[in-house]
Amino acid sequence: MEEVCDIGNIKFSAVSAGIKGEGLDLGLALFEIPFSFIGLYTRNRIKASHIHYAKKLEGRKIRALFVTSGCANAATGKEGIEDLKRLARMISERTSLKEDEILFASTGVIGKRLPIEKIADSIPFLVDNADPSKLEDFAYAMMTTDTYPKVLKRTFSGKKTYSILGVAKGAGMINPKLATMLCFLFTDYPGKREVLVNPFRAYCRESFEKITVDSETSTNDTVMLFFPEGEIDEKAYSIFTETLKDLMRELALLIVRDGEGATKVIHIKVNGAKTKMAAQEIARRIARSTLVKCAFFGNDPNWGRIIAAVGDTDITIRPERISIKIEGMEVAKGGVETPFDEDELKRKLTSKEVEVEIDLGLGKASYEIYTTDLTYDYVKINASYRS
């Protein structure tokens, strides 16, 4: 069933321009009225051209978002930004939009410039065929190694009924710091940039920054929130923020569940730390351990790999206070193994979602992160990514 955008004033379109070789690879979102936006981007010091371009448009009103997949337009120097300026002129000539009302986002192979001529030939179709019913096509056009489009919708009420749409892509090169590969959130709830920017940053930390597939931070990570500037509906503000926070978390989980080659999602929670920062560092170290991830792929309750990762940080710990549970079953206490039914635990580890809990016994702070197992298919996908 085709997804329909139920937010007035936004239309979508998509087309195959031959950037990826096959499938939809260009997407366009058209706003019939000006929308404000808040953007959060990768902390990787090498940033895609669209990020440099978007930062110069912060605080402006936007009428279009143009997305390309198959080519990251990263590590392309000044030419990569000039290519976006050329595209903005082309889109402006085909529409009534000003060049500085158009945003861009890209994902795909790093180091290649956008195929401008292929894209230029597709602009008329994208503009002329934009429609609220093309939301799912837009989501497909963002995909690279994803196995399914990631689209979520929520509605809530205040003075009127409002909606939030979330569209994301990502399956590999996922270790978001402030963002994910690409995620766009659209709402008809009126807001003010200065009011929403801090909550939005906080929600990113509690969603996209808590997932990792392969500990690789992309050059293109981007999360954007689009909303009409206006007087905030105070009656619905708390409902809006909770709905937005929940939707962002669900989108983040969709990404990690679609991790390249993954067979399961691993929920890692570190409790009993002195500070949240300490809990976060240890949780991230466990989540990025290839040995831990391989053990879970093999349904092997090898808790020794987990405790080894706990100790491989600069955080001060007390080994004799550490306890570990896997799928609710205690496997270690006081830093040593406790008796457990290994066959039963191996059966539990065949689940699509696996929970791991580590208690450091040092304080009350905690941190949770989501990762995947590491499989043969992950290697196959990334060994031939450019082929």
Task: Calculate the CA dihedral of residues 128, 132, 135, 138 and round it to 10 degrees.
Answer: 20
For residue 48, is pLDDT > 80? Answer: yes
Angle between helices 77-94 and 116-128 (to 10 degrees): 30
Nearest-angstrom CA–CA distance, 228 and 36: 6
Task: Calculate the CA dihedral of residues 335, 341, 345, 346 and round it to 10 degrees.
Answer: 110
Q: What is the pLDDT of residue 44?
A: 87
| DSSP letter, residue 65 | E
Per-residue pLDDT tens for 79-96?
Answer: 999 999 999 999 999 998
If pLDDT is split at 50, 70 and 90, which confidence band does 384 have? low
Nearest-angstrom CA–CA distance, 355 and 328: 7
Q: Where are the alpha helices (DSSP H) in 58-109?
A: 77-94
Which of 175 and 268 is assigned the larger pLDDT? 268
Instruction: Return all residues near 31 (Cβ < 8 A) that are at least 6 apart.
Output: 9, 10, 62, 63, 64, 226
Per-residue pLDDT tens for 345-371?
Answer: 999 999 999 999 999 999 999 999 999
Q: Where are the alpha helices (DSSP H) in 129-233?
A: 135-141, 193-205
Over residues 285-312, mean pLDDT: 94
Q: What is the pLDDT of residue 6?
A: 63
Q: Which helix (H) or strand (E) holds 11?
A: strand 10-15
For residue 3, is pLDDT > 60? Answer: no
- Cβ(119)–Cβ(127) under 8 Å? no
Over residues 258-270, mean pLDDT: 88
For residue 387, is pLDDT > 60? Answer: no
Q: Annotated catalytic, 147?
A: no
Q: Which helix (H) or strand (E) holds 217?
A: none
- Backbone angles phi and psi of 352, in degrees to 5: -75, -25
- Cβ(15)–Cβ(122) under 8 Å? yes
For residue 37, is pLDDT > 80? Answer: yes
Which of 381 and 192 is assigned the larger pLDDT? 192
Q: What is the pLDDT of residue 212?
A: 82
Nearest-angstrom CA–CA distance, 365 and 280: 9
**196: which 2 tokens?**
């929403």
- The structure's pTM equals 0.89
Per-residue pLDDT tens for 327-336?
Answer: 999 999 999 9
Over residues 152-168, mean pLDDT: 94
Q: What is the pLDDT of residue 1?
A: 41
| DSSP letter, residue 229 | B
Over residues 306-329, mean pLDDT: 96
- Cβ(373)–Cβ(290) under 8 Å? no
Single out the catalytic residue among 107, 180, 187, 222: 180
pLDDT > 70: percent of the chain: 95
Q: What is the pLDDT of residue 80?
A: 97
Nearest-angstrom CA–CA distance, 86 and 243: 38
Over residues 338-348, mean pLDDT: 96
Q: What is the pLDDT of residue 314?
A: 94
For residue 101, is pLDDT > 70? Answer: yes
Instruction: Return all residues near 36 (Cβ < 8 A) that are at least 6 apart.
Output: 61, 62, 191, 193, 226, 227, 228, 229
For residue 173, is pLDDT > 70? Answer: no
Over residues 279-300, mean pLDDT: 94
- Cβ(281)–Cβ(315) under 8 Å? yes
